[in-house]
Copies of this chain bind each other. A is one copy, B any other.
Amino acid sequence: MKMTSISGKTAVSLKRTIGSGTEEQRKTVSTIIEEVKKNGNAAVSAFTKRFDGADVADLRVTEQEMKEAYGMMKQSEIDILKSAICNIKEYHKRQLASSWFYHRKDGTMLGQKITPLDSAGVYVPGGTAAYPSSVLMNVIPALAAGVERIVLVSPPGKDGKLSPGVLAAAAELGIKEMYKMGGAQAIAALAYGTETIAPVDKITGPGNIYVALAKREVFGQVDIDMIAGPSEIAVLADQTADPREIAADLLSQAEHDTMASSVLVTDSRPLAEAVQKEVDQQLERLPRKEIARQSIENYGRIYVAETLDEAVSAVNELAPEHLEILTVQPEALLGKIRHAGAIFLGPYSSEPVGDYFAGPNHVLPTNGTARFSSPLNVTDFQKRSSIISYSREAFSENAEKIAAFARLEGLEAHARAIESRIREED
């Protein structure tokens, strides 16, 4: 793992160039979307045959299939799912926004009405990336928001079936509408609907480059969540931290993806050197060591700062997806952290604690976008409407000003709309 000394002037960055797809991929996606708009389920089935190698006559997952999948899980696994769901629900219900209003002395009422989206579609990847935790993290915020119709889609294996873990997680959350479809064809079916699938208002969830391109293309027709980049972690540590634990946490990001980035920022050179050694040793013993090694070699970095303040500045420059603070007093640094998706404080808040279990969402801004983006949230499934109820008193007091403002902007009909209401008796 490369080590770099930073002074105030050294630029640090987790940024990776994320492919926005080739011209050919974009064309493929456009074609798929057009086909699904035109031919509905038949097109989806044909693409499923072609891309997933599966014959799926009926796209909808049956109640029987849900039950079977649930039956395939061990009781201990179901118990873990239940505990995680309980924690995630407890956290997310606190994000729920409420409508509010207030009255001015002149009798005017102003406010903000909160309404859940009517429907949401969640994309869950297939194959080895078919994570039950993706189901929990995308569905629970929508449930907490009060979205009435939540639809899950996931590409089937060659046997035409979905991952039992994914189905079990969906069943545990009470999801009733699931389809065996993936790729751009699933995104198109969710955005535009087919003869049996009603369109949704918002699509969330991770996917491969085709899914990402399709989400970008249907954006505007429906809302989408962010386009997620490869995962990242930054660990901010002083000499009191345990190098063995830090190395294990860095590697837990690195095993995700060869493009994942793991960074240590510290004011302690001895710690930096100890972590460097530990990473090498632990790496050798990992089943996914080839992925982790590439990630560490290309996107892993140890930054050694002169002071803790300098280390904090570097972290803010990185704006990492995950940030662990492993210092003698982690809470004391919290106020100085401006940019991070999720912040893990102290030795028992290993990043995987948050991936599945603690409660906060694992859908987080990557690639420096924590400067302006946020974790997936209940309010992402709620929308606001402004409320304006002007009283007669307020109107007659301000009508002239409002009409004058309209004329200042050259909009005469706006001024006349106001003046049409000025009564003789006012």
Contacts and interface: CB of A to CB of B under 8 A. Distances in A.
Nearest to A387: B343
Interface stretch (A3-11, A111-119, A153-161): A111-119
Nearest to A18: B220
Interface string A370-411: 111111010100011111111110110010011011101111
Contact of A255 (B118, B334, B354, B411): B411
A223 B373 contact: yes
Interface string A333-347: 010011111111111
A245 B227 CA distance: 46
Interface stretch (A25-33, A50-58, A125-133): A125-133
B392 A348 contact: yes
Contact-size category for A? 35 or more
Interface stretch (A39-47, A62-70, A269-277, A417-425): A417-425
Contact of A348 (B330, B374, B390): B390
Q: Give the most central of A79, A255, A408: most B CB within 10 Å.
A: A408
A416 B282 contact: yes
Nearest to A377: B384
Interface string A198-229: 00011000000000000000001011000100
Nearest to A355: B414
A248 B413 contact: yes
11 contacts: A79-B401, A94-B102, A110-B359, A220-B369, A223-B372, A245-B417, A252-B416, A348-B395, A349-B390, A356-B405, A357-B398
A358 interface: yes
B251 A413 contact: yes
A149 interface: no
A406 B357 CA distance: 10
Contacts of A345: 109, 387-389
Shortest Cβ-Cβ A-B pairs, 9 listed: A360-B386, A348-B395, A345-B389, A223-B372, A374-B384, A342-B386, A248-B417, A255-B413, A248-B420
Q: Give the most central of A115, A347, A355, A413: most B CB within 10 Å.
A: A413
Contact of A371 (B117, B132, B351): B117
Given A406-B356, A408-B132, A416-B252, A337 B286 contact: no
A99 to B, nearest CB: 10
A96 to B, nearest CB: 12
Nearest to A367: B220
A388 B201 contact: no
Interface of A: 76-77, 79-80, 83-84, 91, 94-95, 100, 102, 108-110, 112-113, 115, 117-118, 128, 131-133, 165, 201-202, 220, 222-223, 227, 242, 244-245, 248-249, 251-252, 254-256, 282, 286-288, 292, 330-331, 334, 337-361, 364, 369-375, 377, 379, 383-392, 394-395, 398, 401-402, 404-406, 408-418, 420-421
B354 A385 contact: no
Contact of A108 (B358, B375, B391): B358
Contacts of A350: 390, 417-418, 420-421
Contacts of A421: 245, 347-348, 350
B118 A338 contact: yes
A84 B415 CA distance: 16
Given A383-B373, A413-B252, A420 B245 contact: yes
B91 A389 contact: no
A145 to B, nearest CB: 12
Contacts of A357: 398, 401-402, 405
A208 to B, nearest CB: 17
Contacts of A256: 411
Contacts of A404: 76-77, 80
A334 B113 contact: yes
A112 B375 CA distance: 10
Contacts of A342: 385-388
Given A83-B401, A84-B405, A282-B416, 4 more contacts: A110-B359, A244-B420, A348-B421, A372-B383
